[in-house]
Amino acid sequence: MNQHDMIAAIASLFPSAQYQIDYTIKVTNNVPELLTWNNSLGTQPTQQEIQDALDSIQLAGYKQLQLSLIADASASAQTSGFTSSALGSAYTYPSGMQDQANLTAVITGSMIPGQPSGTTYLFWCKSTTGVEGFVAHTAAQIQQVGLDVLTAIMAVKSKQLTLAAEIAAATTIAAAQAVTW
């Protein structure tokens, strides 16, 4: 622990305490210790209480970092494509944000009453053989593609929530860091 760490820990324990007004710190051989303490704040914290507060601050920071990494991985997974067999065999579809918006528009169009029988809806996809381009889908097929992307995205979100709960339950920095995508 350094002087800045000690100040942060004391601030978390005593939010109204002001450094150099309510307390001072002396550093000897790079080890900080409380030199003076204003007793109107309450009982002077022990070195262990200060260390525990610092540990708590650091754990919260690592948890926040891991949550951010998990959220980034989730966002990437949600926009990295998905597979649907709506056309009778597996095709890969893009799922970037614009792709999702386009798919929503096509699905909405397929649901408008009064469409002529046999109307098809073009959407970009890639076959297992690597052929890609706009492929005609029936209304039922494009709606199934929509259900499949929803299933894929919700599986990713479910994984994110599970990992976030594991991070929240972590009681050590190592345990928080161990939760990865």
**Residue pLDDT, tens place only, 110-156:** 999 999 999 999 999 999 999 999 999 999 999 999 999 999 999 99
Tens-digit pLDDT profile for residues 39-52: 999 999 999 999 99
In this prediction, residue 33 has a pLDDT band, given cuts at 50, 70 and 90, of very high
pLDDT of residue 160: 98
CA atoms within 13 A on the CB side of 133: 4
- Confidence grade of residue 180 (pLDDT, cut at 50, 70, 90): very high
Maximum C-alpha span of the chain: 85
Band (169; pLDDT cuts 50, 70, 90): very high
Domain boundaries, the chain: 3-45, 77-177
CA separation for the pair 26, 30 (Å, rounded): 9
